[in-house]
Amino acid sequence: MNSGEDRRTVPLEFSVIGLGRMAQALVLPLLESGRIAPDQLIASVGSHSSIQQRREDYPEGLEIFVAGTDGAERVWDAPIQLLAIKPQRLDAVAASAPMISGKPLLISVLAGVNLTRLQRLFPGHLCVRAVPNTPALVGAGLTALAWGEGVSDHQRQKVVQLFADVGEVLELPEEKLDAFLALTSSGPAFVALMTEAMADGAVAAGLPRDLAHRLAHRTLAGTAELLDKRPLHPGQLKDMVTSPAGTTIAGIRKLEQSGVRSALIEAVLAAAERSRALA
């Protein structure tokens, strides 16, 4: 990316430290909507190969630097900074960060990294912990926010608006984030596993693979939309489609015999416990 001196006269609005999929889900809508111009945003990544991978995804004008190279330190100049690195790089990134003045906002999307640790590693920042989920990639995300000390109401509004562009935003006490993460961030993987298994069942019952996958995806999407738009408890929807001695109750009986309900409960609990352990 170009890094001419004339670009340095443009005031930065936002920076990204680490440019993985979750950062992309937030940054691209900001750029596409025009809320932030490419020359008002700067990013750093871990390697030159990462820059090559990102060039096709982002509009021309966005500066991307390899961490530790000339110009990369400018990511720490923006008033709002998104920390989206791999958790195992956190200590090294914090150690390489310059001394900060002016108390910029640092928004971390790192799983299991609590506000106490963030504030210790980045004492010159005001810290925010964000837990987004993968459906943000299609504007259907859920994000929980927990605030560190000193974040003003105006700053809170700006952060909420950033994540509102990719889905629904909730403000939660930090102690609730592990459960939120287990349900909404790990949950898509659990749902995907169930959807894949249902498609496999349809293949076993005689449907072609492509059709089975498409129908499983549409069944999932339609069911989610029905639950969202009608005031239905999931148990009510189950009862609506379960006739006496019918096909659905036969399938549900098998699910209960296999312990699927208990397995899902334990999966969410295990994910929450792992998040607490990472902290």
132-146, pLDDT tens digit by residue? Answer: 999 988 889 999 999
Q: What's the pTM?
A: 0.87
138-191, pLDDT tens digit by residue? Answer: 889 999 999 999 999 999 999 999 899 889 999 999 999 999 999 999 999 999
Range name among 16-25, 79-88, 198-207, 248-257 with the lowest pLDDT average: 16-25
Q: Which domains does the chain possess? A: 5-177 (3.40.50.720), 187-278 (1.10.3730.10)
- Model confidence at 19, pLDDT cuts 50, 70, 90, reads confident
Q: What is the pLDDT of residue 101?
A: 76
Maximum separation of any 2 CA atoms in the chain, in Å: 75
65-76, pLDDT tens digit by residue? Answer: 888 788 788 899
Q: What is the pLDDT of residue 22?
A: 82
21-57, pLDDT tens digit by residue? Answer: 888 888 888 888 788 888 888 888 877 776 766 767 7
Q: What is the pLDDT of residue 244?
A: 96
Is pLDDT of 96 > 80?
Answer: yes
214-262, pLDDT tens digit by residue? Answer: 999 999 999 999 999 998 999 999 999 999 999 999 999 999 999 999 9
Cross-strand bridge partners of residue 131: 144
Closest CA to 164 of 139, 183, 127: 139
State mean pLDDT over 192-211: 98
